[in-house]
Structure 1
Amino acid sequence: MYQYKTKGTCSSEIDVDLEGDTVKSVRIIGGCNGNGKGICALVEGMKADEAIRRLKGIKCGFKSTSCPDQLAIALLQAKEQQAHK
């Protein structure tokens, strides 16, 4: 399980569990509960690279990031951590 502290969003943390190159589970702590659960449900079972491609760069209102964008960053970092094991 990789824990990522979010930056610039209402959520405070994203927990990511990868199984190989596939997203096994995601949990977004804080933020919009329904949206967070929806995002998690959509990416579970998806290849991490595909989730990153779809989510990276999404903005929330006038913010420079969003929970989906932060999830893309969390997935990138989780992949890096997994590669160094």
Structure 2
Amino acid sequence: MKTTFTTQGTCAKFIDIELDGDIVVEVRFIGGCHGNLQAVSRLIQGERIDRVIEVLRGIVCRSGTSCCDQLARALERTRLSIAS
């Protein structure tokens, strides 16, 4: 499953997410701190959605959120759509 999430309050404007069931296959941030976000994307490849949400949810950079927090929120929404 592939989806694009529009972020709010971060330098990254969009997050492209590819999942295989509940496993993260690939994540690509559009905008933001390229090097840091590449590292985050590589570190979460192959991880379960729930684990990524648990680790990244609530990390704050600015505006009460961060690119990592936005990814966690996107995965939460995606997980809900998979469950329905």
- Taking the aligned partners of 2:82 and 2:27, their CA distance within structure 1 comes to 16
Equivalences, count: 83
Give the TM-score, by structure 1 length: 0.92
CA contact (8 A) 1:18 1:78 kept: no
- Taking the aligned partners of 2:4 and 2:81, their CA distance within structure 1 comes to 11
Q: Which residue of 1 aligns with 2:22?
A: 21
Structure 2: unaligned runs, 5 residues or longer:
none
- Taking the aligned partners of 1:82 and 1:30, their CA distance within structure 2 comes to 27
Q: Which residue of 1 aligns with 2:49?
A: 48
SS of match in other structure, 1:8: coil
Structure 1: unaligned runs, 5 residues or longer:
none
**Deviation of residue 9 (structure 1)?**
0.1
Q: Percent identity?
A: 43
SS of match in other structure, 2:60: coil
- Taking the aligned partners of 1:80 and 1:5, their CA distance within structure 2 comes to 17
For the aligned residue pairs, the C-alpha RMSD in angstroms reads 1.0
Q: Could you give the per-residue CA deviations for residues 17-43 of structure 1, whole angstroms, max 9, x where no partner exists? A: 111111111111100000110110011
